Chains A and B, each alone.
Chain A
Amino acid sequence: MELEFGAQSDIGCVRKNNEDSYRAAAEMNLFVLSDGMGGLEAGEVASRLAVDTVLARCREAELNPSLPLVGKHVEGVSGASNQLASAIRSANEAIYRTAQQGAGQQGMGATIVAVWCTDERMSVAHVGDSRIYRLRGGELDQLTQDHSFVAEQVRQGKMTEQEASSSTMQNVLIRALGIDPTVEVDVSEELLMETDIVLLCSDGLTRELSDAQIAAVLGKCDGPQAAASRLVDLAKQAGGRDNVTVVVLRRAAKPVGAIARIGRWFKNSA
């Protein structure tokens, strides 16, 4: 299965560093995005280490599907999903070690979101408050649940969505990479259908734009790169208070041959 993607990362209008990183390994249908935190350069170091470690570990796993897992085996998901979660745990260890080694880098950490499509099955994994969305049939759904203080309050019914979106606690995470020696990774699987559009983004996008605005851009834009650029532009127009990074992907359109066309005609008339 072939995917096409577009991506853009921008420092925004206020910050002095871009602490976001992303990697798009289209040849293996793997897309990873991370938002770093920590003073000075620590955030950049952390997010770069996060995406590079995940990429390297998944490459290894692709060559050797029985690569031993870091951490526990998750029941009810594929080998690839388990390898993706394992790669993220490995990234956690890498950042944690780096943070412990350099005194100035303590407090460094990162979020991560990743998708890996091995077939129509898309493995989805994350830690932190970067997000993955899917547009299907005009409906935008968030496939990840933020590991943030306010999101947890909403889940427990202690806060409404509205209170959460105006809370000053929005920036407080309850899970991130590099903070503790081990981390719990959320992993799930989704179908990737021909008409689906998937978005990975840092919170610099979702703090500036509503779901409706995001859905409108993804639904209207001419291709993943145009959508990625448009989203970043809009986030900056809305204030660009944080770094903003997006990766947009979808299945590449198959050339439609005569037989496929007849097949489609049959299907539509059925």
Chain B
Amino acid sequence: MAKLILKFDNAVLKEMPVGSKEVSIGRSPENGLVIDNPAVSHYHARVFSEEGRLMLEDFGSMNGTFVNGQRVKMVTLKPGDSVSIGKHTVVVSESREQDGFASGTGGAKLVAPKINETVMLDTKERREFLQKVAAVGESSQVAPSRLKVATLVVRKGRTDRSEYVLNDKLTVVGKSGMATVKLKGWFAPKAAAQITRRDDHSYYIGAADKIPNVNGQPILRPTILSPGDIIVVAGIELEFLYRD
């Protein structure tokens, strides 16, 4: 459950849980969160939850309600958001009170995270967010990476094999003992180039002792590989593709 922390000049004036119960904000004493200041309307705004999200609505106040510097009418609030009303600030924080965090131990323990202080996305939101991320990741993982295996096919040059399946997160092209694509010849570099697989199953090629060329372009910084790309490095030519 979230809580609202009312601050003035960084001093914490009041804290209030919010979630199941709506909190109205304004100058009138009838509000849940009273801000006694002429810049604040009698009924200024309210914070309530809807479908598990924390919402803020401005009641058309004279001086407005600002979230992270933007004037708003109705927005979703997140932990760490800073709501400005007049010269007061209401910070949205993740409350731990239902977990037994004692609230009667004095204000010092409950000081809101300062702006910039690292916070976690609230547990529920985080789960939903991570699920969404996973869903996006899966849909963007085009069929090749799931059903097919990334492969380097040697087109030209002396290597120990004609084809390499990229099973590892790090693939080194060179003469070194840890190289997968083994180069032959006296002057072959220990590590000419490297290919890394990221967690989204994309492959990036980067320079090592040599600067590889991909489709004729020198690769100075790690660059994503696409099927059909032709890599030229240390006298060999490789094609990147997906095999069944």
Contact = CB atoms under 8 A, between A and B. Distances in A.
A137 B120 contact: no
Chain B interface category by residue count: 35 or more
Contacts of A156: 133, 136
A136 interface: yes
Nearest to B108: A40
A119 B126 CA distance: 37
Given A176-B120, A179-B120, A76 B207 contact: no
Contacts of A103: 100-102
Given A37-B117, A120-B178, A174-B129, A188 B101 contact: no
Contacts of A241: 116
A101 to B, nearest CB: 12
Q: Is the interface of B mostly helix, strand, loop or mixed?
A: loop
A109 B120 contact: yes
B147 to A, nearest CB: 17
A120 B191 contact: yes
Contacts of B81: 168
Nearest to B99: A106
Interface stretch (A25-33, A63-71, A89-97, A189-197): A189-197
A76 B121 contact: no
Contacts of B110: 39
Contacts of A170: 116
A174 B128 CA distance: 11
Contacts of A203: 118
Nearest to A35: B118
Q: Which of B99, B117, B187 has the most CB of A within 10 A?
A: B117
B187 A270 contact: yes
Contact of B220 (A137, A180, A191): A137
Given A152-B133, A168-B82, A169-B80, A190 B118 contact: no
Given A37-B119, A168-B81, A137 B109 contact: no
Given A136-B208, A242-B117, 11 more contacts: A40-B109, A106-B96, A121-B178, A152-B133, A171-B80, A174-B121, A174-B133, A176-B120, A188-B196, A190-B194, A203-B118
21 contacts: A37-B120, A75-B167, A76-B168, A103-B100, A106-B96, A107-B96, A139-B221, A152-B133, A171-B80, A171-B113, A171-B118, A172-B121, A174-B129, A186-B199, A188-B196, A189-B168, A190-B170, A191-B172, A193-B208, A242-B116, A242-B117
Q: Which 10 A-B pairs have the closest CB atoms?
A: A189-B170, A270-B187, A168-B68, A76-B168, A37-B118, A76-B169, A106-B96, A171-B118, A139-B221, A77-B169
